[in-house]
Amino acid sequence: ILHIAEDSEEFLMKYRLNEILEKYGKFLPVEIEFDEKIINNPNPIWTKQPSELKDEDYISFYKELHPMSEDPLFWIHLNVDYPFNLTGVLYFPKLKNDFSIKKEKIQLYSRQVFITDEVNDVVPDFLQLLHGVIDSPDIPLNVSRSYLQSDSNVKKINGYITRKVADKLSEIFRNDREGFEKKFDDIGLFVKYGMISDDKFGEKAKEFCLVKNLAGKHFTFEEYTEKVKENQTDKGGTVVWLYASDVQKQDTYIQSAQKRGYDVLIFDSVIDPHFINGIEYKIEKTSIKRVDADTLDKLIEKEIKLESVLSKDDEERAKKLFEETLGGTPKLTITVEAMPTDEMPVVITIPEFIRRMNDMAATSGQKSMFGDMPTMLNLAINANHPVTQKVLNATDPSEASALIRHAYNLALLSQGMLSGSDLTAFVQQAVSRL
């Protein structure tokens, strides 16, 4: 006879009993009959050998775990009995560009009894983006978290899972490069997160982590450095990778780079600002710069530079005219530089360190320490552009000022910094000039 306390009568309700059995007994190794039917699966696939299973079996089990999810990309069957016991199946879902995906999708079991879906101390943080099941009788379950973190078996299991995942990705990359490239848009976020958060995984991932250029071609780090080093090595011997984070917004800068024969990568995922910072120091003699972070001659400094058609006096005069006209603009650093005549008359850039800090703050959901607008802008006057000559030759100061304002607004527009009434006024002025 089972006696139920008054405050526990919920456990006499069918729906509550079913809820508990579903959660904790879904894969118990003995059949459970409830409400005249067997409600559990006593032989889940992680208890079987991979040789017994087909792809359909793995997908069917995934649907059993996550009924509303898309099919997984691929999976890893875990099976080890020394120096610890562990079985399980981990699935790679389609992550795409969503870094807010709910974790807690890996379920921890002990001899097919559900324990928890909070596996922080058993599975590295980046692997918690995966889905699936881990079953191990060797994980201590009723001890403090601090003990769990220091337990030798837990550390071994953590390292084993990381290694198995890296080996699986490496195997797919070697055996089916084309298929791996097609999947990389879906798993790239996971691989990049792993590289910057786990050094052991990062070392292995350098072999199969891919970057993609604007032509849609994929490269390993080594392959990409080899591709661009002839044309994109600066005078100090550092290979410069150029990238765009917003192809439409940075189109003007991309076109300028491509005119010089430079290749441009695309880094537009939510994790890329952190990824760029993380890998830049791991790739020898390589610097990664956004295509609009400076003028091209400063992004990739070469021994031979373009000559300015202006005299030093004219350069100083041009700089002074711009400073007088734009004097109310806070923290604007103005320089005069020799650039090709088909470049913009004025180029505005955000210092690299400020832009990176802004990007990282945005992806972390924090407010930038610099507010909504950067506090520092670099403005480079193109000494060789006809507009600069017109500014210098203008006899009416108001004409020179109007040209400067137009060139400045055009540069702001190319950086996506012109909006609202300023954008409307700029368009109206442009139309009137036509």
Q: DSSP string spanning 238-273?
A: -EEEEEES-TTTTHHHHHHHHHTT--EEE--STTHH
Q: How confident is the model at residue 423 (pLDDT cuts 50, 70, 90)?
A: low
Q: Residue 132 region, left (φ>0) first, then alpha (ψ -120 to 50), else beta?
A: left
Query: Residues 104-152: pLDDT tens digits?
Result: 688 989 889 888 887 877 788 888 888 999 998 887 666 555 555 666 7
d(CA 339, CA 355): 23
Average pLDDT over residues 314-325: 93
Between 342 and 55, the more confident residue is: 55
Between 293 and 146, the more confident residue is: 293
d(CA 190, CA 195): 9
Phi, psi of 409, deg, nearest 5? -65, -35
**183 is written with which tokens?**
């999947």
What secondary structure letter does DSSP report for 184?
Answer: H
Contact 242, 264 (CB under 8 A): yes
Phi, psi of 93, deg, nearest 5? -80, 170
d(CA 339, CA 22): 69
State pTM to two decimals: 0.80
Average pLDDT over residues 393-411: 90
**301 is written with which tokens?**
């400094």
Task: Please tell me whether residue 142 adopts helix, strand or coil conformation.
Answer: coil
By the 10 Å C-beta count (0-12 exposed, 13-18 middle, 19+ buried), 195 is classed as: buried
Taking CA atoms, 41 is separated from 30, 86, 258, in Å, by 8, 19, 59
Contact 340, 386 (CB under 8 A): no
- Indicate the Cα dihedral angle 382, 318, 329, 425, nearest 10°: -70
Q: DSSP string spanning 356-387?
A: HHHHHHHHTT---TT-SS-S-EEEEEETTSHH
Q: Looking at the predicted structure, is the pLDDT value of residue 103 above 60? A: no
Q: Edge to edge, what strands does the sheet with 74-80 contain?
A: 74-80, 86-92, 131-135, 106-110, 113-116
pLDDT at 140: 65
d(CA 361, CA 124): 24
d(CA 364, CA 87): 35
Query: Residues 238-252: pLDDT tens digits?
Result: 999 999 999 988 998
Q: DSSP string spanning 55-97?
A: HHHHHHHHHHH-TTSPPPSEEEEEEE-SSS-EEEEEEE---TT
Q: How confident is the model at residue 434 (pLDDT cuts 50, 70, 90)?
A: very low
Taking Cα atoms as reference points, which of 236, 234, 237 lies closest to residue 294? 234
Indicate the helix (H) or strand (E) that contains 186. helix 177-197
Taking Cα atoms as reference points, which of 284, 394, 414 lies closest to residue 343? 414
By the 10 Å C-beta count (0-12 exposed, 13-18 middle, 19+ buried), 185 is classed as: middle
Q: Which of 10-14, 93-97, 142-146 has the highest mean pLDDT?
A: 10-14
The proportion of the chain whose per-residue pLDDT surpasses 90, expressed as a percent, equals 49
pLDDT at 362: 66
Taking Cα atoms as reference points, which of 222, 220, 214, 218 lies closest to residue 243? 214
In this structure, the number of other CB atoms found within 10 A of the CB of residue 101 comes to 15
How many alpha carbons fall within 13 Å on the CB side of residue 302?
12
Phi, psi of 83, deg, nearest 5? -85, 10
pLDDT at 128: 86
Residue 333: strand pairing partners? 378
Taking Cα atoms as reference points, which of 15, 47, 12, 10 lies closest to residue 28? 47
Between 139 and 167, the more confident residue is: 167
Q: How confident is the model at residue 281 (pLDDT cuts 50, 70, 90)?
A: confident
Query: Residues 345-376: pLDDT tens digits?
Result: 999 888 777 777 777 776 665 555 545 545 67
Mean pLDDT for all residues in the chain:
86
d(CA 144, CA 132): 25
Pairing state of beta strands 377-382 and 346-349?
A: antiparallel
Between 70 and 155, the more confident residue is: 70
Average pLDDT over residues 402-409: 90
Average pLDDT over residues 228-245: 94
